[in-house]
Chains A and B, each alone.
Chain A
Amino acid sequence: MFRHWALARVNDFSFGAVFHPWLIEREDSRPNNLTRMPPCGAVSGLIADRALRRGAWLAPANQTLRGVVALEPALNPARRLDLQDAHINLVRQEPRGFLVLDADTLAEDDLRPINVRRLLILFAATGLSWARLTCSSPTVLPFGAWWIAAHGKCSMDCLSAGLCRRDSGFVVPGRDGWFFEYEASVDQGRFIVELRVAPSLPMTFLTIRLVQTGDLSVATEVR
């Protein structure tokens, strides 16, 4: 557990997200039985899977949910924007399956994307673990930066970007477009490390719908 690590302006609503509607699922072992389930379980699995496979800083969205055959209740597509503005992440039926295209927390501004909050959680947890390992001297900070990069599944490019430097602060580019930098100092016997994280710009999945009517094809962008 850790506290007091985060931004100067902490919004507690960024620690949760709402998903809707419910899922009607069919289990492989019991194909004749349909089960109604709230979406939180399936979405939690999706978030965990995305974090383990690709990293916590990627939006847990645009991935089909297995076993889902229908949604309940049916929501009015014309209200999608209103629901999105209310920070309700909708499970939708798309041609390739049932999936979530939005991944918003309940917070506003910078902490609205789930992946930004989870990246900050990852950095804080990893940073504290590293600090416990290497709290003896600022000269060991490159090791700490390497530790963070490794646990963040950063690429070798990241490691070669300057981690061998032994000064007290630099910027490390991450694999998927996020950056972090740190500054270390010793003040009145206290070893102080300040991590600053710049997540990649929140990625919003846009849907381009191709419609052919007669001999006229049009492309529209929908949310």
Chain B
Amino acid sequence: MDESPPAAAIYLLQESGSSNFTDAETIYSGPLTSYTLYWSQPGDYYYRVQAIVNGNTSDWSNGVSVRVGDNVRWELDQRKDYSPSVLLAVQRSLLRMCAARGDLFCVLSLPEDYRDDKAIEHVTLLKATPNITPPTERVSPLGFGEGQRL
């Protein structure tokens, strides 16, 4: 059950780069009970709250830590630089798992831009046996009857 804060409460929100709040900085002071934070730099941040009601000041709350990771960036490769090695490894692994379990069936797709020749080439590679084609991403092609031996 939500508990409404006292009408006259003022909250102080502090941010620090260390867990003992030696360099704490007050980043909000006011009646709101929520606050949205934005970070520009990765790192560990620590937060604590204090309430002031009718001139009475509470203790600081327990500190809460937030770890901000590096920004995830996606970069598109040129189509000519695309390699199906990862996709082949994933699909071979799926086939291997289904064959080993015996009660699963995998439905596979091809890259969107694959036309006739590339599609046929991909499936030919997928079906190639270990003596014909090398592993991709350290996943070897399926051998005949391999699932029974797993």
Binding site for B on A (CB under 8 A): 1-6, 9-13, 15-22, 36, 38-40, 43-44, 47, 72-73, 75-76, 79, 82-83, 86-88, 106, 114, 117-118, 121, 124-125
Q: Which of B27-35, B41-49, B123-131 contacts A (4 or more CB under 8 A)?
A: B123-131
Nearest CB in chain B to that of A18: its residue: B108
**Nearest CB of B to A84, in Å:** 10
B76 CB within 8 Å of chain A: no
**Interface contact B112-A10, CB-CB below 8 Å:** no
Cα distance A43–B91 when bound, in Å?
Answer: 16
**Interface contact A39-B144, CB-CB below 8 Å:** no
**Interface contact A18-B112, CB-CB below 8 Å:** no
**Interface contact A13-B116, CB-CB below 8 Å:** no
Our pick among B95, B101, B120, B124 for the contact of A16 (Cβ within 8 Å) is B95
B102 CB within 8 Å of chain A: yes
**Interface contact A1-B103, CB-CB below 8 Å:** yes
**Interface contact B110-A15, CB-CB below 8 Å:** no
B139 CB within 8 Å of chain A: no
**Interface contact A15-B113, CB-CB below 8 Å:** no
**Interface contact A106-B102, CB-CB below 8 Å:** no
**Interface contact A12-B95, CB-CB below 8 Å:** yes
**Interface contact A15-B106, CB-CB below 8 Å:** yes
Q: A2-B102, A12-B142, A13-B95 are in contact. Are A82 and B116 (CB under 8 A)?
A: yes
**Interface contact A1-B126, CB-CB below 8 Å:** no
Given contacts A12-B147, A83-B119, 5 further A-B contacts (CB under 8 A): A76-B115, A88-B119, A88-B120, A106-B95, A106-B126
Cα distance A125–B113 when bound, in Å?
Answer: 38
Question: Which chain A residues border B71 with CB–CB below 8 Å?
Answer: none
Binding site for A on B (CB under 8 A): 91, 94-96, 98-110, 112-116, 119-120, 123-124, 126-127, 142, 144-148, 150
**Interface contact A118-B101, CB-CB below 8 Å:** no
Nearest CB in chain B to that of A20: its residue: B110
Question: Which chain B residues border A86 with CB–CB below 8 Å?
Answer: 119-120, 123-124
Cα distance A87–B26 when bound, in Å?
Answer: 65
**Interface contact B106-A16, CB-CB below 8 Å:** yes
**Nearest CB of B to A42, in Å:** 9
Cα distance A22–B109 when bound, in Å?
Answer: 8
Q: A16-B94, A18-B123, A39-B109 are in contact. Are A10 and B148 (CB under 8 A)?
A: yes
Cα distance A69–B90 when bound, in Å?
Answer: 29
Cα distance A120–B145 when bound, in Å?
Answer: 16
**Nearest CB of A to B108, in Å:** 5
The 3 nearest A-B residue pairs measured at CB: A38-B109, A12-B99, A15-B98
**Interface contact A83-B103, CB-CB below 8 Å:** no
Complex A-B: 30 CB contacts under 8 Å: A1-B101, A3-B148, A10-B145, A10-B147, A10-B148, A13-B127, A13-B142, A15-B98, A15-B99, A15-B105, A15-B147, A16-B94, A17-B105, A17-B108, A18-B126, A19-B107, A20-B109, A36-B112, A38-B110, A40-B109, A75-B116, A82-B120, A83-B116, A86-B124, A88-B123, A106-B123, A106-B127, A118-B105, A121-B102, A124-B102
**Nearest CB of A to B97, in Å:** 9
